[in-house]
């Protein structure tokens, strides 16, 4: 109730009460008086009427004053107290109540403030504790992600429904899209929230899960199972699968470790066919030689013609045998190399490690000549470094060598790595002896001999010397390796967490209730944009570029993008080239739309589509439906319409204006991917703004868009 009204009522009631009381007393006093006195009283009252009226007015003011004071000090103040208390607890915990009014209320305000202080302290403490726990969790997760990315194997982690919660670069590469997919291979993509069954055969995984469950039932503590599968690239992938369990002991998800075994399998197959070739190829000629030779030995009396004939047989068959052995050994040279555990490494890098090892472990000065950057060797670096260090240790201990030098050069199919010293001559038989003894560096022993290491590398060692300069060197000959492309460091924003995992998806279940009922914040989206030859798809304009990025769990996944130029098979308008800067030459070698759309469709699987002015892009996709047979049937949200829903009074809803309004920085505009990224960020900012208007679910957003769309049409 209004304070003024309340005040008036109070005043009226109190004043009326007092007046009534006085009148009542007067009436009661007058009632008992004899007639004479009664008249006198009336006369007195009559004569004093002015004064009485004045007193009555005075009383009214007095009452107003008293009630006013009471209101000011108690009623209004109490109400303000309540309001301020609400502010403290609901809006601003730092707010403190101003104490005014009656001393009782001042006391009360002080008490409430003390309570607010205590409340705030507790709140802060809770927040810091939660913050600390969160950052620790974050740190652990980041460490995990870092660890994963360093692993040589691919790793996938999925929940029980097969949704990917974590993956690393290697896994992504293994299942990377192939330019020319192997026939029958699955064409799935690795991405957060995507299904692992798009990568692996559902039955194979189900079978593996059955086996794991059986092992668990049998009480096996850490069961794991393996199988081999093909990737779209044609690579053979060995999958090792282990379950992880919920608190209740049920399989809550699985860890898949992936290893590319294509090369191993190839080498294995090569070895097998080498053996088979030998087994089959050697028997026949040897049989002929043996038969002929035994005949020659057993029948010395045979006639000359026969002797010549048998001799011919021996000669011919042994020629064939020689040729076969030479051919086979040459052809299968790679298969015979003991190549396991050897990695390709830059010679410069390897010698650098050797240098440090010799200097720190042996305290022997070690120089390093500049090594050409393009020398790569196939090497088990640890064993090799030990081998060189053990040689240096021998030189120091047995020949009093005071310093060594390292150098490298390429020679044919080999790299020559030299350990050089001056002064003492090491005899070749000394080296022969060392080669066969276990390596030893200071107090460190290894069971390996230098010869073991060299054999494993297919390498050789010898000692050479140069008399006039008094220098000598051990030369190690190692097969050259293949240059390995350095894995590019991703340009990652330092404060953003890596996007290879999302454990929050754990809680997420696939109980696909009606999609329209799902909250906008929980859905997976593909935000996309296309560049075209012009603005009229029905008049034959075509898509020349598609770009898209995924949103999972409210995060824009910068690492999961789609970007593809498309050959439009028609000339490009000069006008549109001016906008996106793509000309016909850049597109001549690109795939056509009927090749690109299937890939894009797979990329969009199970997501809601988002685009700015989506109707335009969708029109292009729909027109291709007849040719490609590919339908984009998923719901579509349009950031343009959603922006109108959120800011109906704004005039400009183009991408730039929208980005500026929502504080999204615009980079790489007018490339399909650049625009898709900007649109994605805008969309993420729109979600909370929509929620303020009560638009929370997909269904509500679609309805609101539809209404706006019609409103705009009418307008």
Nearer to another protein, 204 or 318 (CB): 318
Instruction: Report the nearest approach of another protein to the CB of residue 450 (Å).
Output: 14
Instruction: For another protein, give the closer residue by CB, 478 or 698.
Output: 478
> 502, 144 in Cβ contact below 8 A?
no
Please name the residues in contact with 195: beta carbons below 8 A apart, sequence gap of 6 or more.
161, 162, 163, 164, 188, 606
- Tokens representing 334? 């790679």
Instruction: Please say which residue, 459 or 680, places its beta carbon nearer to another protein.
Output: 459
Q: Measured between alpha carbons, how far is 690 from 520 in angstroms, rounded to an integer?
A: 9
Contact present, 463 and 426 (Cβ < 8 Å): yes
Comparison of 10 and 414: residue with beta carbon closer to another protein = 414
659 is written with which tokens?
């980005």
Judging by DSSP bridges, how do beta strands 471-479 and 236-245 pair with one another?
A: unpaired
Instruction: Output 270 or 558, the one with its CB closest to another protein.
Output: 270
Report, in Å, the least distance between residue 234 CB and another protein: 31
Asked whether the beta carbons of 656 and 666 are under 8 A apart, the reply is yes
Cα–Cα nearest to 166, from 196, 206, 137, 187: 196
Using alpha carbons, select from 543, 680, 666 the residue that is nearest to residue 608: 680
Structure tokens at 535: 């603005």
Nearer to another protein, 478 or 556 (CB): 478
| Minimum gap (Å) between residue 320 Cβ and another protein | 11
* Least Cβ distance, residue 385 to another protein (angstroms): 20
CB of 680 to another protein, least distance (A): 56
Q: Distance between CA 239 and CA 258 in Å, rounded?
A: 5
SS3 assignment for 461-520: EEEEEECCCCEEEEEEEEEECCCCCCCCCCCCCCCCCCCCECHHHHHCCCCCCCHHHCEH
Q: How far apart are CA 436 and CA 153, in angstroms?
A: 35
> Measured from the CB of residue 428, what is the shortest distance to another protein in angstroms?
5
**Least spacing, CB of residue 381 vs another protein, in Å:** 19
Distance CA 385, CA 180 (A): 41
Q: Strand 525-532 vs strand 438-441: parallel, antiparallel, or unpaired?
A: unpaired
Q: CB nearer to another protein: give 73 or 318.
A: 318
Q: How far is the CB of 433 from another protein (least distance, A)?
A: 11
State how far the Cα of 187 lies from the Cα of 234, in Å rounded to an integer: 11
- Which of 467/493 has CB closer to another protein? 467
How far is the CA of 148 from the CAs of 19, 171, 193, 485, 492, in angstroms?
90, 10, 18, 19, 16
The residue behind tokens 């001999």 is 449
Pick 414 or 503: Cβ nearer another protein: 414
Contact of 582 with 544, CB cutoff 8 Å: yes
| Number of residues that this document lists for the chain | 715
Whole-angstrom distance, CA of residue 211 vs CA of residue 220: 11
List of residues 6+ apart from 94 with CB closer than 8 A: 120
3-state helix, strand, coil in the chain (%, to 5): 55, 20, 30
Name the residues that contact another protein, by CB under 8 A. Answer: 318-319, 321-322, 325-326, 329, 411-414, 428-429, 432, 458-460, 462-464, 475, 477, 479
- At 243 the three-state DSSP class reads strand
| Shortest separation between residue 333's beta carbon and another protein, angstroms | 8
- Cα gap 553→521, rounded to integer Å: 7
Residue matched to tokens 């390093």? 368
CB of 462 to another protein, least distance (A): 5
Question: Which residue(s) pair with 256 in the sheet?
Answer: 156, 241
Report the catalytic residues.
670
Looking at the Cβ atoms of 137 and 286, the one nearer to another protein is 286
């Amino acid at each position: 109730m209004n304070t003024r009204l309340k005040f008036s009522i109070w005043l009226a009631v109190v004043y009326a009460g007092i007046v009534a009381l006085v009148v009542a007393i007067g009436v009661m006093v007058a009632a008992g008086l004899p007639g004479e006195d009664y008249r006198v009283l009336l006369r007195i009252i009559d004569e004093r009427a002015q004064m009485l009226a004045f007193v009555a007015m005075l009383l009214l003011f007095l009452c107003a004053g008293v009630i006013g004071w009471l209101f000011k000090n108690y009623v209004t103040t109490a109400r303000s107290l309540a309001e301020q208390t609400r502010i403290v607890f609901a809006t601003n915990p730092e707010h403190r109540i101003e104490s005014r009014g009656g001393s009782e209320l001042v006391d009360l305000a002080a008490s409430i403030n003390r309570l607010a202080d205590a409340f705030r302290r507790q709140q802060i403490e809770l927040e810091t504790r939660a913050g600390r726990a969160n950052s620790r969790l974050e740190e652990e997760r980041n460490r995990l992600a870092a660890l994963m990315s360093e692993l040589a194997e691919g790793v996938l982690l999925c929940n029980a429904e097969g949704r990917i919660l974590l993956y690393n670069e290697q896994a992504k590469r293994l299942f990377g899209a192939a330019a020319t997919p192997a026939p029958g291979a699955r064409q799935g993509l690795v991405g957060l929230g995507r299904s692992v069954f798009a990568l692996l055969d559902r039955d194979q995984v189900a079978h593996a899960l059955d086996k794991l469950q059986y092992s668990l039932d049998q009480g096996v503590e850490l069961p794991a199972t393996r199988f081999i599968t093909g990737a779209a690239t044609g690579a053979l992938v060995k999958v090792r699968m282990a379950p992880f369990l919920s608190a209740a002991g049920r399989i809550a998800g699985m860890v898949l470790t992936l290893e590319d075994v294509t090369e191993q399998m190839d080498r294995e197959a090569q070895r097998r066919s080498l053996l088979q070739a030998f087994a089959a190829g050697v028997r026949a000629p040897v049989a002929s030689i043996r038969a002929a030779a035994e005949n020659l030995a057993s029948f010395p009396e045979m006639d000359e013609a026969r002797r010549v004939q048998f001799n011919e047989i021996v000669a011919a068959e042994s020629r064939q045998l020689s040729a076969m052995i030479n051919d086979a050994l040459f052809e299968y040279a790679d298969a015979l190399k003991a190549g396991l555990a050897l990695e390709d490494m830059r010679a410069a890098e390897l010698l650098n490690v050797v240098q440090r090892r010799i200097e720190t472990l042996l305290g022997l000065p070690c120089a390093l000549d500049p090594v050409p950057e393009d020398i790569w060797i196939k090497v088990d670096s640890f064993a090799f470094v030990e081998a060189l260090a053990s040689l240096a240790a021998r030189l120091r201990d047995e020949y009093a060598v005071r310093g060594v030098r390292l150098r490298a050069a390429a020679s044919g199919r080999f790299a020559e790595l030299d350990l050089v010293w001056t002064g003492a001559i090491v005899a070749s038989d000394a080296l022969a002896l060392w080669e066969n003894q276990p390596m030893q560096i200071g107090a460190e022993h290894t069971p390996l001999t230098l010869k073991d290491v060299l054999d494993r590398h297919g390498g050789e060692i010898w000692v050479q010397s140069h008399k006039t300069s008094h220098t000598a060197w051990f030369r190690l000959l190692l097969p050259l390796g293949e240059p390995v492309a350095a894995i590019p460091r991703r340009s990652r924003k330092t404060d953003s967490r890596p996007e290879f995992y999302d454990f929050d998806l754990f809680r997420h279940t696939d109980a696909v209730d009606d999609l329209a009922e799902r909250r906008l914040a929980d859905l997976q989206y593909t935000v996309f944009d296309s560049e075209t030859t012009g603005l009229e798809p029905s008049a034959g304009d075509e898509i020349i570029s598609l770009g898209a990025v995924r949103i999972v769990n409210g995060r824009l996944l910068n690492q999961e993008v789609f970007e593809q130029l498309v050959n439009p098979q028609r000339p490009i308008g000069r006008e549109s080239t001016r906008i996106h800067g793509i000309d016909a030459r850049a597109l001549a070698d690109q795939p056509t739309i009927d090749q690109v759309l299937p890939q894009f469709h797979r990329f969009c699987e199970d997501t809601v589509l988002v685009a700015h002015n989506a109707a335009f892009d969708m029109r292009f996709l729909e027109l291709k439906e007849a040719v490609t047979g590919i339908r984009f049937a998923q719901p579509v949200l349009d950031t343009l319409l959603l922006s109108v829903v959120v800011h109906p009074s704004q005039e400009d809803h183009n991408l730039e204006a929208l980005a500026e309004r929502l504080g999204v920085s615009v980079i790489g505009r007018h490339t399909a991917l650049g625009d898709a990224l900007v649109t994605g960020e805008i969309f993420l900012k729109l979600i909370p703004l929509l929620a303020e208007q009560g638009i929370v679910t997909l269904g509500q957003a679609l309805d609101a868009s539809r209404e706006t769309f019609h409103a705009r049409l009418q307008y």
